[in-house]
Chains A and B, each alone.
Chain A
Amino acid sequence: MTNIIDCDKVRKMLESDYLDNELEASGRELADQHLEKCAACRKTWESLEAITMHLRQAQRQNVPGYLWPRLKAEISRRQAVTASEPDTLPSSIIKLFFMRPSFAAAAAAVILIVISFTVLFQARKPSGAEYTDLISLTGNVEIHEAPASFGSNIEQYLL
């Protein structure tokens, strides 16, 4: 019976998913079948196991006791510096937005509504050509200039 997968593929599996027990059952079975028959891959596997065992048995190092007082003092020092600096308006707004997501959502909703109304108002405002059409539809014989030139008429009058 020949091996279904080659040594390169098995080696890759051994060096990651197989070693870390992350391989699904079918893949594991294939690798096991290969290992039974291939002495070179078996040797690789034994070395990998030994190396990993070494790392897993590494002694946990104790945290030096002086770190907490040092850390606490540094936090207090930074808090004192921050407290002495007045909050600028942009930083206060950013803080408010991050710390109160509901406030940020409400502000976004208000901005969206304002933008929608502005766009809607602009869209409904008649242009000069539309204004002329409206007047002609009402049957008014005298055709006025469109209000777009209103400002310029005043300017002409003043001049």
Chain B
Amino acid sequence: MKNDISMELVKKARDGDMAAFEQIYIRTNGFVYNVALRITRNHADAEDVVQEVFINMHKNLPFFRFESSCSTWLYRITANTAISRCRKHSRETEAAAKYKEHLKVESQESPAHGPESAEEKEKIINAMLERLDDDQRACVVLRDMEGLSYDEIVQVLNIPLNTLRSRLHRAREALLEFAQKEIKP
């Protein structure tokens, strides 16, 4: 798993060295923020998830046993925190409503072979992720956007391999359906 943190640095942070904790934050905040953002699809929620994840990490560092890698641990806290935030705010947020509004326009305007600008690409990606339930979205984000292997995702989400396969299969069915309906000329 990429972005892994040395045991030495974790031990320093565990002993109260705030500079070491800052180093861990600097090295890992990118994936924590991006996973949170893709799962929640909302910048404000993603920021809250980042804060919650690192506060949780700081509080629990004394209990970290090095049985899994630090990154696996962080991915796990991030995915769980983001998913539970989504479930808590299951009602439509303002941002999600905006996406849906955009989607209506997008489906009328999208060219045959995908969007042109980075901004349009981003909107399509978010519209695709919107189609998935929270569990499927977490699997797709970890696999396709973070590039984690099946073994790593199984460890992070603490689910059986066949559950992961089934979630990915159902997620991709939904994405195929979306692509056929929405990104056709």
Which residues of A are at the interface with B, using a C-beta cutoff of 8 A?
12, 15-17, 19-20, 22, 44, 47-48, 50-52, 54-61, 63-64, 67-68, 70-72, 74-75, 78, 98-99
Contacts and interface: CB of A to CB of B under 8 A. Distances in A.
Contacts of B143: 20
Interface string B32-45: 01100110000000
B145 A56 contact: yes
| Consensus secondary structure, chain A interface | helix
B-side interface size class: 35 or more
Given A56-B145, A60-B30, A19 B25 contact: no
A20 B148 CA distance: 10
Contacts of B128: 51, 54-55
Contacts of A72: 18, 22
B96 interface: no
Given A17-B165, A63-B33, A67-B29, A51 B175 contact: yes
18 contacts: A15-B168, A15-B169, A16-B172, A17-B165, A19-B172, A47-B180, A50-B114, A54-B121, A54-B128, A57-B121, A58-B145, A59-B121, A64-B47, A67-B50, A71-B51, A74-B51, A75-B54, A98-B62
A70 B51 contact: yes
A18 B59 CA distance: 41
B43 to A, nearest CB: 8
Interface centre among B37, B59, B128, B169, by most A CB within 10 Å? B169
Interface string B97-129: 000000000000000001000100110110010
| Consensus secondary structure, chain B interface | helix
B78 to A, nearest CB: 13
A20 B150 contact: yes
B179 A61 contact: no
Interface string B151-185: 00000000000000100110011011001100000
Given A56-B147, A68-B22, A68-B29, 19 more contacts: A12-B169, A15-B172, A16-B165, A16-B169, A48-B172, A50-B114, A55-B125, A55-B140, A58-B125, A58-B145, A59-B122, A61-B37, A63-B33, A64-B47, A70-B51, A72-B18, A72-B22, A75-B54, A75-B58
A68 B55 CA distance: 11
B51 A56 contact: no
A71 B54 contact: yes
A68 B21 CA distance: 11
B63 A98 contact: yes
B144 interface: yes
Contact of B179 (A51, A58, A70, A71): A51
B3 interface: no
